[in-house]
Structure 1
Amino acid sequence: MAVHLHLHLHPFIILSSTLLILIFCSQTESYTSSHITLPSIRTRSPPVSISVADHGTTGDGVHYDTESIQSAIDACSSAGGGRVVFPPGKYLTATVFLKSGVVLEVQRNATVFGGTRLEDYPAEQSRWYVVLAEDAEDVGITGGGEINGQGLEFVVRFDERKNVMVSWNRTGACSGDECRPRLIGFIRSRNVRVWDIHLNEPAYWCLHLVQCDNTYIHDMSIYGDFNTPNNDGIDIDDSNNTVITRCNINTGDDAICPKTYDGPLYNLTASDSWIRTKSSAIKLGSASWFEFKGLLFDNITIVDSHRGLGLQIRDGGNVSDITFSNINITTRYYDPSWWGRAEPIYVTTCPRDNTSKTGSISNLLFVNITATSENGVFLSGSKRGGLSNLKFLNVDLNYKRWTSYDDGLVDYRPGCQGLVNHSSAGFIMEHIEGLEVENVNMRWLGDRVRKWNNPLDFRPSSVDNISLVNFHSNSYGQ
């Protein structure tokens, strides 16, 4: 193992023979990524504007308006495209299908409610959305109003730890415990734009992109109940050329979640946003069968989240050229039933089970990161898959405990080793080739975190080629 140290270490730092844990603090420095190309969204002047009221909607939120809404969409599409307008009111609907050239304009003081009955959705579970666009071009949603999935109507038993939800698998419609409808879906679509809209209370995932190209999501908000599982904010599956900016996401499960099920994911930029979640604010995976490459996350504020920045690679896909810059993170412990242990940064690759391949993670850059958290950073490759070429530049990490949940556990879930007992530390590392740390500060605040075993904790046999420059660590009792 080659370790090159240029350190200013606090006297209490111990290099353990077990694992490695670091913690960083930074000076501010501007950073510009050169490997991200923003997609261009084709704009057009809408030739028509059609009100759903003219097609017979009641707008009372009690009677279903599905047929009237779909009639307005079909008429707009037949006329060459334009806007379908929802004037102020309440619109209850089963699944409606968005068509090429059509933008839904849900005006302020208008709310579209998704139905809560199984018969409100198509026979195929893969098409369970309140609004769904398939194989469409030049489509979007805007208007300043709200689309609401009535997620709380799917709660069988309210629980402060994690709500128990309706599962339609009892009808034979699908299998598993995640048989609930998503809110908005764009599948195999191009030139998608979602802006100036409030997406609230999804029963399952909120905004879902599947094999899409050239998507622009901006100036919009997502809200989901904090105790509802699987109500992800934005899931991006196998989609390329995506921009997410100026968004507010407050939800119970992963906020921004790129996945690769059936193809690679390239060129994603997420910036200038605010996130609060009971799971991971940003998480790659865990669905990860294909490549992730060329992603930038910049100028993001993460508050009161169970995890901050996460890579959860489990299925053999490779990850490279990812930048996290200018990010402020606050993490805390929630219930152990949720994946995560309050890590501000969490990077793992390991096989999901004994039938899975192990993917690699390489060329990650963390620059201008500030975090206050109850637990340390966790970086873990595996014996069968590599974690290499990580760089931390200008990072400021503060450790402070303020909840009463137990620590001393490392969370590999899903799969892998599950929850593993391990002494708490600032930065745990294993199975890594190539780590560069520059201008990093670590602060331990309060007597509880001062009792942690090691700021830096690593297995020497599994970590190679480490360079630490201007690394500082201090402890402050309270």
Structure 2
Amino acid sequence: MYLCMLNSQSPEMEKPPLLFNFKIILLLLTQSLLTTSSHSLNPTTVTFSVTEYGAIGDGIHYDTVSIQTAIDSCPYSIPCRITFPSPGNYLTATIFLRSGVVLNVEPGATILGGPRQKDYPKESSRWYVVLAENATDVGIAGGGVVDGQAEKFVVRYNERKNVMVSWNQTGDCLGDECRPRLIGFLGCKNVKVFNVTLNQPAYWCLHLVRSENITIQDIAIYGDLNIPNNDGIDIEDSNNTVITRCHIDTGDDAICPKSSTGPVHNLTVTNSWIRSKSSAIKFGSASWFEFKHFVFDNITIVDSHRGLAFQIRDGGNVSDIVFSNIKISTRYYDPLWWGRAEPIYVTTCPRDSTSKEASISNVHFINITANSENGIFLSGSKRGLLRNLSFINMNITYRRFTSYAGGFFDYRPGCQELVKHKTAGIMMEHIEGLEVRNVEMRWEKNDLEQWNNPMEFKPSTVNNIHFSNFNSVVYSNSKSSQ
């Protein structure tokens, strides 16, 4: 099949010039940056300290009332900074930001989220340690820490995946994900989160919902690798977002655009480091509306269960996406976690019999280096094709080094779930238009029996493929791929 495949390129498909691909990056990056504005603090900003309002900061007594009183004392017409002095551990129930208020957590100071359900509002949709709703010009900064105390939500430690507290017995939520998020901006404009560390979220960490004009800069997120659902940054129904110079080390998806009630447009992520026990970057799986105009550039992904991922399950189309200058290493973890070590995973299939099929089009992977235990998985659906994908200037090394079993296609959630199948370098189905240019695959000699062909697909479902300078080589020194 491999030799036939190399001769299967369509004569009608012209090879676009390389310059064209970089123009795509420049266009999308410029558009995203122009539509996202930074908002610096006004020189006339007033500052209040939470200790002036009675906060103790001993990590034992709740400081909620003092913190909220300080916030509510801010004048409505002037930007206001609420300072958490160092040293101090400020234990709190949910605190509510309002327009013009920025929390300034000093280095050496920590906001601690309470572990009790009564520390949070009645509605589970408002379970956050820090919450801003329908606010403008809000944020968090200062060099300190916001900590969700996730360890206090562990019911039983488990080597495969910890069992966590669920508050669903109250009827306020369903399933096993009923825990508070760390920080939420809901329906907000001009949001800025910078120079702050977000630690140990019990559930999602930083949640941006139906918000506009967001800057996330110079932050660090640390979540327990064995705690499920502790996503790093979830961009849900939000537009015009820039994420830069961030360090995200967490158990579940690290950066995750979702479209639940509206589209997601103009997201730029640059100069960041990511590790995840699920996907480092994941579109979906909530995907009812479109995703458009995204740029991911200069990103390092380390020891993740999946690198760059699309889980489109609900009918929302995806288009005009660029991934460039990205280093990826992926590995197998326990199959309880979604992902099978794919460095690139592009899938669209209906979640269930009631779901629509969506398309993914104009997605470009340029200057990608990957070291992986599994191959690239590209899977459209019969009425939801993958269209106009390109892999340009890529170097992929395949090497097994964990003892977890391979040999599965992972369609989760929904679709066909896990399907036993020998893996290949690139596995493809339901594609219309694919360019592979200046791509080298490297295979460790000792692992060859675990792999199928460098590329594998059913000719009846894949059309218009173009190959230029594609190379597949075997090497014998495993240390050379590290």
Q: What range is the shorter-chain TM-score in?
A: over 0.9
Partner of 2:247: 248
Q: Matches of 2:230 and 2:168 in 1, distance apart?
A: 18
Partner of 1:105: 104
Letter of the structure 2 residue corresponding to residue 322 of structure 1: I
Q: Secondary structure at the match of 1:199?
A: strand
**Number of residue-to-residue matches in the alignment:** 458
Partner of 1:263: 262
Given candidates 61, 65, 72, the residue that maps to 1:63 is 61
Q: Matches of 1:42 and 1:171 in 2, distance apart?
A: 41
Q: Secondary structure at the match of 2:125?
A: helix
Partner of 2:10: none
Q: Residues 131-173 of structure 1: CA distance to partner in whole angstroms, max 9, x if unpaired? A: 0000000011001000000011100011121100000002222
Distance of aligned partners of 1:15 and 1:107 in 2 relative to their CA distance in 1, 3 Å threshold? farther
Point out where structure 2 has 5 or more consecutive residues left out of the alignment. Answer: 6-17, 478-482
Moved more, 445-454 or 256-265: 445-454
Partner of 2:194: 195
Q: Report the Cα offset of residue 311 of structure 1.
A: 0.5
Matched, 1:457 2:453: no
Q: Residues 350-397 of structure 1: CA distance to partner in whole angstroms, max 9, x if unpaired? A: 000001001110000000000000000000000121111001110111
Partner of 2:114: 115
The answer to whether the Cα contact below 8 Å between 1:426 and 1:456 also exists between their aligned partners in 2 is yes
Distance of aligned partners of 1:449 and 1:333 in 2 relative to their CA distance in 1, 3 Å threshold? farther
Q: Matches of 2:198 and 2:320 in 1, distance apart?
A: 31
Letter of the structure 1 residue corresponding to residue 216 of structure 2: I
Point out where structure 1 has 5 or more consecutive residues left out of the alignment. Answer: 1-11, 17-26
Partner of 2:312: 313
Partner of 1:42: 39
Partner of 1:33: 26
Q: Residues 64-120 of structure 1: CA distance to partner in whole angstroms, max 9, x if unpaired? A: 000100000111244633100000101000000011001100001101000000000
Moved more, 465-474 or 449-458: 449-458
Letter of the structure 2 residue corresponding to residue 35 of structure 1: L
Q: Residues 410-436 of structure 1: CA distance to partner in whole angstroms, max 9, x if unpaired? A: 000000000001112111000000001
Q: Matches of 2:279 and 2:448 in 1, distance apart?
A: 23
Q: Residues 315-353 of structure 1: CA distance to partner in whole angstroms, max 9, x if unpaired? A: 000000000000000000000000010000000000000
The answer to whether the Cα contact below 8 Å between 1:444 and 1:450 also exists between their aligned partners in 2 is no
Q: Report the Cα offset of residue 477 of structure 1.
A: 3.2
Moved more, 259-268 or 80-89: 80-89
Partner of 2:465: 466
TM-score, length-scaled by structure 1: 0.93
Partner of 1:448: 447
Q: Matches of 1:227 and 1:14 in 2, distance apart?
A: 43
The answer to whether the Cα contact below 8 Å between 1:77 and 1:102 also exists between their aligned partners in 2 is no
Q: Matches of 1:226 and 1:305 in 2, distance apart?
A: 10
Q: Matches of 1:117 and 1:300 in 2, distance apart?
A: 37
Q: Matches of 1:86 and 1:300 in 2, distance apart?
A: 32
Q: Matches of 1:254 and 1:409 in 2, distance apart?
A: 20
Partner of 2:11: none
Q: Report the Cα offset of residue 45 of structure 1.
A: 2.5
Matched, 1:80 2:78: yes
Q: Secondary structure at the match of 1:461?
A: coil
The answer to whether the Cα contact below 8 Å between 1:280 and 1:309 also exists between their aligned partners in 2 is yes
Distance of aligned partners of 1:97 and 1:178 in 2 relative to their CA distance in 1, 3 Å threshold? same
Task: State, as a whole percentage, how many aligned pairs show the same letter.
Answer: 64
Q: Matches of 1:173 and 1:46 in 2, distance apart?
A: 42
Partner of 2:427: 428
Q: Matches of 1:286 and 1:228 in 2, distance apart?
A: 19
TM-score, length-scaled by structure 2: 0.93
Q: Residues 129-148 of structure 1: matches in 2 within 5 Å?
A: 129-148=128-147
Partner of 1:338: 337
The answer to whether the Cα contact below 8 Å between 1:15 and 1:456 also exists between their aligned partners in 2 is no
Q: Which gives a bigger RCO, structure 1 or 2 (Cα 8 Å, sep 6+)?
A: 1
The answer to whether the Cα contact below 8 Å between 1:48 and 1:79 also exists between their aligned partners in 2 is no
Distance of aligned partners of 1:46 and 1:302 in 2 relative to their CA distance in 1, 3 Å threshold? farther
Partner of 1:8: none
Q: Matches of 1:448 and 1:398 in 2, distance apart?
A: 12
The answer to whether the Cα contact below 8 Å between 2:95 and 2:129 also exists between their aligned partners in 1 is yes
Q: Report the Cα offset of residue 129 of structure 1.
A: 0.2
Q: Secondary structure at the match of 1:410?
A: strand
Letter of the structure 1 residue corresponding to residue 142 of structure 2: G
Q: Report the Cα offset of residue 453 of structure 1.
A: 1.9
Partner of 1:368: 367
Partner of 2:13: none
Partner of 1:54: 52
Matched, 1:274 2:273: yes
Q: Secondary structure at the match of 1:170?
A: helix
The answer to whether the Cα contact below 8 Å between 2:39 and 2:192 also exists between their aligned partners in 1 is no
Q: Secondary structure at the match of 2:38?
A: coil
Q: CA RMSD in A?
A: 1.7
Q: Residues 80-229 of structure 1: matches in 2 within 5 Å?
A: 80-88=78-86, 89-229=88-228
Q: Residues 218-238 of structure 1: CA distance to partner in whole angstroms, max 9, x if unpaired? A: 011000000000000000001
Letter of the structure 2 residue corresponding to residue 129 of structure 1: Y
The answer to whether the Cα contact below 8 Å between 2:2 and 2:456 also exists between their aligned partners in 1 is no
Letter of the structure 2 residue corresponding to residue 165 of structure 1: M
- More helix as a share of residues: 2
Q: Secondary structure at the match of 2:265?
A: strand
The answer to whether the Cα contact below 8 Å between 1:399 and 1:449 also exists between their aligned partners in 2 is no
Partner of 1:23: none
Q: Matches of 1:275 and 1:331 in 2, distance apart?
A: 11
Matched, 1:404 2:397: no
